[in-house]
Structures are given as C-alpha cells and as structure tokens.
Amino acid sequence: MPELPEVEQVVRSLRPVVLGEAVEGILRLSPHVLVGEGSLWQALKGKPFRSVERRGKYILMEAEGGLVLGFHLRMSGRLLYREGPPFPGQHLHLHLALTRGHLLFWDPRKFGRCYLLSPGSPAPWDGLGPDPFDAGEAVLAEWRRRRAPIKALLLNQRILSGVGNIYADEALFRAGIRPGRPGMSLSPKEAERLLQALREVMEEALLWGGTTFRHFQDALGEEGRFARRLSVYGRKGEPCPRCNTPLRRDVVAGRGSTFCPACQV
Ligand SMILES: [Zn+2]
C-alpha cells in the first residue's frame, strides 16, 4: 500500500500536469468507488485545479470555488495522467477529461476511494494526526502514554499520518526498537530517535521516487526505486545489514513485522 513517500511522489508528479487544467468531461464508471453527490460532479465541470496536496496518505486536489477531489489509493489504486489514448479499459473507475490531458483513477482491487466534497464539509481526512515531518512533542508523548505495541501506534493514522507497514518496520530497525514494545516502555530518547528515523527513511525513499513492491506507480507511470534499499521489510531470514543475525518476522498488531532479534531491543 502506498505510504507517505509514494503518495507524495504521486502529488509531485501530478502538480505540473494538472494545475490550471480545467475539468471538461467526467465519466463516472464505478459509483461505489466514487463518493460525492451528483450535483457536485456537475459543479466540478469547467473548474480548473488550483492545488494538489497530500494529507497523510490522501491526495487532495482543490478546484476553483473550493470543491475538493480527494483520493485514497489503498492497496492497488493508481491516479494516472495521460495526454491521450490508449487508456486502461478494465478497472478504470473515473475518467476526467482535462483541458489538455486526462486524469484516470484505476484500481483492480477496488479498495481505493475517490471523494468529491464541497468546501468545509466533513471529510475522511479530518482528524488525521500530523505526518512525521510535522510531528513534535505531542506525538512522542502520545506514544509513551499508551500500552499498545509501538508498531500499532505507528500505524494509527490519528496519532501520526502517512506511515504504513514498510516504513514502520524500517524506522523501528533504524531506531533499534522492537515492533512489539509497548509504547509506554519507550524512553524519551527512544521515542525521539524513532521519529527521527521515520523522517530519514521517508526522505531517502522520496529521493528514489518511493517503494514499488507490486503496484505502485506515480501519475506518469514511473515506479519507485527504493525497494532494493529497504533494510528489513520483506527480508525475513536474510542477514541483518548491521549484525548479520537472520531477520525474524512476527505478527504484531495483526501485521507482519520484520526485525532483527539481536540489534532491536
Ligand atoms: Zn541486527
């Protein structure tokens, strides 16, 4: 599932091609994937996009007048920009014809969602925590207040947004912390180190265009190149890059979590 670096990569690839482009035609192919009243879709017509931003793992495109088109890619969703055909026929859920190009929402597993909301109305991205780059003392204190495993706290989007399984495992490895440790067992220094590790690994991933395991591509069809640089995620049984101990995989908070049993304590 795309996490902060992958979603940010989509946003960065979309910005130069959709900003200022107006919506000239709308084809809604899968109503259950698209959330928003029919009248709002009508109102979107003719409106140019004024901004493309990321909030947690959401992509938010604001049109003139304040309508917000929000996307969550979940497992396999892609937001694609194409100058012209051929378009992917199967699994295409939304097709927006823009002034010059085409914006397509494509998702074979259909877990992704597209929301069209009027300004100020309640949105699924309300109540998200800050992302690791904006997080501060309040997030560290929240982790250290809770009994849940730190892995679960990292994945809780209300505390901190944008982190998923890959970068949670990578940051825990860098910080030398086991995924199953209760949040309240972390020292202030460990919590600080973990947040710093999250920022570092996400910054590096951004430089490589994110991580592609199976599905991820940015809006222009580029895959991320960070997968080969992951230290622990998906590497169960391989030697720890730091101490050579075979990496172990446990289920923590319902998610597979790979870690080094020697240098993560
Ligand atoms: Zn190790």
Q: How far apart are CA 97 and CA 202, in angstroms?
A: 33
Average pLDDT over residues 3-16: 96
Q: State in Å: Cα 265 to ligand 1 middle.
A: 10
What pLDDT does residue 166 have? 96
Average pLDDT over residues 114-119: 96
What pLDDT does residue 89 have? 84
What pLDDT does residue 227 have? 92
What pLDDT does residue 213 have? 78
Tell which residue, 154, 197, 141, 157, has the closest CA to residue 173: 197
Q: How does DSSP assign 41-77, residue by residue?
A: HHHHTTPBEEEEEEETTEEEEEETTS-EEEEE-TTT-
What pLDDT does residue 216 have? 87
- Predicted confidence band of residue 215 (pLDDT cuts 50, 70, 90): confident
Three-state secondary-structure class, residue 205: helix
Active-site amino acid positions = 2-3, 57, 255
Average pLDDT score over the chain: 96
Q: Do the first three CATH levels of 4-117 and 137-259 match, i.e. the same topology? A: no
Average pLDDT over residues 219-227: 93
Q: Return the DSSP state at 221.
A: S
Tell which residue, 20, 128, 123, has the closest CA to residue 71: 123
Question: CA gyration radius for the chain?
Answer: 20
Query: Which residues, chain by chain, have CB under 5 Å from ion ligand 1?
Result: 240, 242-243, 245, 260, 262-263
Per domain, the residue ranges of the chain are: 4-117, 137-259
Question: What's the helix, strand, coil split of the chain in %, to 5?
Answer: 30, 25, 45
The fold of 137-259 is: Helicase, Ruva Protein; domain 3 (1.10.8)
Q: How far apart are CA 248 and CA 243, in angstroms?
A: 13
What pLDDT does residue 214 have? 76
Report the sign of the C-alpha dihedral through residues 49, 60, 194, 206, in that order.
negative
Q: State in Å: Cα 238 to ligand 1 middle.
A: 11
Using one digit for the tens of pLDDT, what is the confidence trace for 149-173?
999 999 999 999 999 999 999 999 9
Domain 4-117's class? Answer: alpha beta
Tell which residue, 193, 167, 166, 173, has the closest CA to residue 240: 173
Q: Return the DSSP state at 184.
A: G
* 21-57 CB burial, b ≥16 within 10 A, e <16: bbbeeeebeeeebbebeeebbebbeebebeebebbbb
Q: State in Å: Cα 167 to ligand 1 middle.
A: 17
Q: State in Å: Cα 144 to ligand 1 middle.
A: 24
Helix ranges (H only) for the chain are 4-18, 38-44, 137-145, 150-155, 165-175, 188-207
The total of other beta-carbon atoms located within 10 Å of residue 116's CB is 22
Taking the CA of residue 171 as centre, how many other CA atoms within 13 Å lie in the half-sphere pointing to its CB? 28
Average pLDDT over residues 36-52: 95
Using one digit for the tens of pLDDT, what is the confidence trace for 19-35?
999 999 999 999 999 99
Q: State in Å: Cα 171 to ligand 1 middle.
A: 14
Pairing of the two strands 78-82 and 102-106? antiparallel
* 198-219 CB burial, b ≥16 within 10 A, e <16: beebbeebbebbbbbeebbbbb
Q: State in Å: Cα 241 to ligand 1 middle.
A: 7
Tell me the pTM. Answer: 0.94
